[in-house]
Amino acid sequence: MKRKLSLFLVLALLVGMFALTGCGQGSSKLIGVAMPTQSLQRWNQDGANVKKMLEEKGYQVDLQYANNDVNLQIQQIENMITKGCKVLVIAAIDGSSLTDVLKKAADAKVKVIAYDRLIMQTPNVDYYATFDNFKVGVLQGTYIEEALGLKEGKGPYNIELFAGSPDDNNAYFFNDGAMSILQKYIDNGQLVVPSGQTEFNKIAIQAWESAKAQARMDNLITANYAGGKKLDAVLSPNDSLAIGIVASLQNNGYGTPDKPFPILTGQDCDKANVKAIIEGKQSMSVFKDTRTLAAKVVEMVDALLQGKEAPVNDTTTYNNGVKVVPSYLCEPVFADKNNYKQLLIDSGYYTEDDIK
């Protein structure tokens, strides 16, 4: 009788523990997801996809957007730690500003996954999930190379260069990737940069703002393209900059038979930019399927909470100044007017109506 009772107690205890830890159900564990801003379409999609996929696995999700305000993002992360989040998924606004708050996360045994952008200057980031950022730049550079026939020796062509926000580690990778293709043509004179501005700090646009890109393009045109000189290509690292660049080009008379739009690159396949591609104002964008990235992050969260190794495919590239962060790099692909239907519509990413 006594033995039966103790067996019963042990069983009851085990059932209780199982229920408490939520084993086997993905459980009611809380995951914090910190996104930079809602002002750019892609981050809304990223946030929604990560939340949905985590919830499908049984997790609870605290999703926050920080309006590109670094201090607000830090506060949001602090709250997530206080609320008892077990894992934080963070797309940083300023990659180097989270050192202190992530020390608090580490003290509270909270795991951290850097989402899309590497978190710099801290040992307290466990994994990084992103797209191959160098390859994004290579796709943009290669598009320009092919569109202008640079390999065949054509030129000289006028080009202006833009880069992303200096507080975003990705911006350097995009630029390095693009210049790995284009620099040789600048060196041999097939590409000419009339403004002379080629250094990262001269061409970078703080906070990836469309309006700042538009203002810089206006200035470049006024100062360097007087007397009928025309632009043949503009390297834009992403779609939000491309929007501003197109606005400036239009205001400056581009988009006519005499003065056609230059080749213009982008990244993200935001809806407005896909429309611009269809209308011939932007030449290409880089498609980074946020569903793929979200799914990878959910795999990482699951692995971390089960005390397992998360999936990675790169353990050398992403040094955050303190350590090399084990990374999973998804594949970016280029999109233009010839393949966008197959990439974006047939795959269910957008409906036809989305890009009308």
Residue 88 CB, nearest approach to ligand BGC (Å) = 18
Q: How far is the CB of 9 from ligand BGC (least distance, A)?
A: 54
Pick out residues in 223-262 that bind ligand BGC (CB under 6 A).
238, 240
Distance CA 31, CA 305 (A): 10
Residues paired with 334 in a beta bridge:
286
Residue number with CB closer to ligand BGC (29 or 135) = 135
Least Cα distance to 305 among 8, 15, 24, 65 occurs for 24
Q: Check residue 212 for interaction with ligand BGC (CB under 6 A).
A: no
C-beta of 208 vs 340, nearer to ligand BGC: 208
Give the shortest CB-117-to-ligand BGC separation in angstroms: 5
- Determine which helix (DSSP H) or strand (DSSP E) holds 30, and give its type and residue range: strand 30-35
**Residue 280 CA to its chain's centroid (Å):** 24
Nearer to ligand BGC by Cβ, of 129 and 263: the residue is: 129
Rule CB under 6 A: is residue 132 a binding residue for ligand BGC?
A: no
Span 54-113, contacts to ligand BGC by CB under 6 A: none
Q: Residue 224 Cβ, how far from ligand BGC at the closest point, in Å?
A: 26
The CB-of-283 to ligand BGC minimum distance in angstroms stands at 17
Choose, by CB under 6 A, the member of 94, 160, 167, 168 that binds ligand BGC: 168
| CB proximity list for 195: less than 8 A, separation 6 or greater | 160, 220, 223, 224
Q: Which of 111, 117, 135, 216 binds ligand BGC (CB under 6 A)?
A: 117
Told to check if 208 binds ligand BGC by CB under 6 A, we report yes
CB distance 144 to 263 below 8 Å: yes
CB of 270 to ligand BGC, least distance (A): 8
> Does residue 170 interact with ligand BGC by CB under 6 A?
yes
Judged by CB under 6 A, the number of residues near ligand BGC is 11
- Site membership for ligand BGC, residue 293 (CB under 6 A): no
40, 74, 263, 294: residue in contact with ligand BGC (rule CB under 6 A): 40
Answer yes or no whether residue 267 interacts with ligand BGC by CB under 6 A: yes
Task: Quote the DSSP letter at residue 208.
Answer: G
Tokens 């834009």 found at: 236
328 in Cβ contact with 291 (< 8 Å): no
Residue 31 CA from chain centroid, whole number: 20
Structure tokens at 240: 């939000």
Residues 185 and 155: beta-carbon distance below 8 Å: yes
CB-nearer residue toward ligand BGC: 117 or 281: 117
State the DSSP H helix or E strand holding residue 296, giving kind and residue range, or none if neither.
helix 290-305
Q: Does 42 bind ligand BGC (CB under 6 A)?
A: yes
Peptide bond into 326 cis (omega under 30): no
Does position 297 interact with ligand BGC (CB under 6 A)? The reply is no
Decide: is 282 part of the binding site for ligand BGC (CB under 6 A). no
Q: Are 129 and 292 in contact (CB under 8 A)?
A: no
CA–CA distance, 226 with 105 (Å, rounded to integer): 55
Are the C-beta atoms of 185 and 145 separated by less than 8 Å?
yes
Residues that bind ligand BGC (CB under 6 A): 40, 42, 116-117, 168, 170, 208, 238, 240, 267-268
